[in-house]
Amino acid sequence: MATEVNVPTLGESITEATVGEWLKQPGDAVAADEPIASLETDKVSVEVPSPVSGVMGQHAVQVGDTVEVGALLATIEAGDGAPAQAPAPQPAVTESPKAAAPSGETPPVAGGYGNHGATPVTSDAPAALSPSVRRAVLETGVDPSTVTGSGRDGRLTKEDIAAAASAKTTAPAPSAPASAPAAAPSSGRGEERVKMTRLRQTVAKRLKEAQNTAAMLTTFNDVDMSAVIEARAKYKDLFEKKHGVRLGFMGFFVKAATMALKDIPAVNAQIQGDEIVYHDYADISVAVSAPNGLVVPVIRDAQNLSVAGIEKTIGDFGRRAKDGTLKMDEMKGGTFTISNGGVFGSLMSTPIINPPQSAVLGLHRIEDRPVVVNGQVVVRPMMYLALSYDHRLIDGREAVTFLVALKNAIEDPTRILIDL
């Protein structure tokens, strides 16, 4: 007797999802609670477990289909099942610029830095790859069947493909046979049309909604990072040994931000209808890189956490974002956002508010610049700070005061210790 597997409850206000990938193919042995499919929602990817042990039946929907909560995904047939077999081979992907990109992924830029000398992915490549891994395979030309996965259940990650590509480029290239004909240069100008992922559609909608609704303004300041860099260099080894996590800059900024939010409560408030809601707590949303794009989990009650507690929370978010195991409840309800574009090399930006929040802090790269200190021109490691805020609620004076309070705490970290 077959057991139906339906789309589970996905969270508050989420009624549908997109089938991201099938983790089990028809005929594969399935254990109870073993993931058989991955669904993409507006916020995260959700794995669907099998309710019983048995053999994977037929898929009721295909990758890329939109399914509603409660809809039939597949069936699990009774029986012991055979060992999981390799998925059916996919059609070969050629080097033609018009080859279709994986659903939900951004295509390589035509004529740009896409597949330079990449070997086409053949039909021997496994089909059960995440969209980001398939994209990495297309860009690098690495044969995924030759790479050992480091992800959950031995699955490949983008990092695995990147490492294999790096090893491939450093290895000595074999001499080409004399009889091999030279490859004809590509002369076409290709275009690709791919469907936006559900996450990207939601991000686009919310960001445009923020621009249309809020009276957005950005105020800038800069901060001398000398004291934090010195403290980090002095204590990072002891910190990691004691707390089991690396000491980064985000711990300092999150802690300093909670102090500044306490002094300037409007920056931590929200507009709801014709009312202003002030919070006596700071739930800080932090942007974290995930395989399908940036996600923004929330550090709850950050004002009560030490720098070590903040770093542990951020480290946990980063690991689970990479594994795709963040929960939707962990990305709801923030009161203030910090986005660190500096890790990607950004010098300056105007971040966009994450509704219904009223402000977002943008951090940028640290670089040595000449500054005047006590009448002398000296070189210091400086960072630009950007605070985008809803001018309907936050006045310019409050925005500037917030940034100055943050600047003072970072330039003199002792203030963080004595809550000054």
Mean pLDDT across 244-271: 94
- Per the model's pLDDT, the better-predicted residue between 70 and 399 turns out to be 399
pLDDT at 131 over 70: no
Cα 216 to Cα 207: distance, rounded to the nearest angstrom: 12
Please compute Rg for the chain using Cα positions.
25
Active site residue 395: yes
- 263 by Cβ neighbours in 10 Å (0-12 / 13-18 / 19+) ranks as exposed
Q: What is the residue type of 338?
A: I
Q: What is the pLDDT of residues 173-200, one digit of tens each?
A: 555 455 555 555 566 788 888 877 777 7
| C-alpha distances out from residue 313 to 20, 244, 278, 368, 417, Å | 28, 12, 25, 30, 20
Backbone angles phi, psi at 49, to 5 degrees: -85, 155
Largest CA distance in the chain: 84
Portion of the chain with pLDDT greater than 90, in percent? 35
Q: Which residues pair with 371 in a beta bridge?
A: 378
The pLDDT assigned to 249 comes to 92
Residue from 364, 391, 412, 419 carrying the catalytic annotation: 391
Q: Which contiguous run of DSSP H or E holds residue 359?
A: strand 359-363
Neighbours of 405 (CB within 10 A): 21
The pLDDT assigned to 58 comes to 84
Q: What is the pLDDT of residues 280-325, one digit of tens each?
A: 999 999 988 776 667 889 999 999 999 999 999 999 998 888 877 8
Residue 373 CB-half CA count within 13 A: 11
Provide the token pair at 360: 């977002």
169: CB partners within 8 A, 6+ apart: none
Sketch out the chain's domains with CATH numbers.
Answer: 3-77 (2.40.50.100), 200-418 (3.30.559.10)
Q: What is the pLDDT of residues 376-386, one digit of tens each?
A: 999 999 999 99
pTM higher than the cut 0.75 = no
- Per the model's pLDDT, the better-predicted residue between 328 and 371 turns out to be 371
The pLDDT assigned to 112 comes to 38
pLDDT at 234 over 80: yes
Residue 385 three-state SS: strand
pLDDT at 396 over 50: yes
Residue from 316, 395, 412, 419 carrying the catalytic annotation: 395
The pLDDT assigned to 259 comes to 95
Q: Which pLDDT band, with edges at 50, 70 and 90, does 276 fall under?
A: very high
Cα 403 to Cα 395: distance, rounded to the nearest angstrom: 13
Cα 383 to Cα 386: distance, rounded to the nearest angstrom: 10
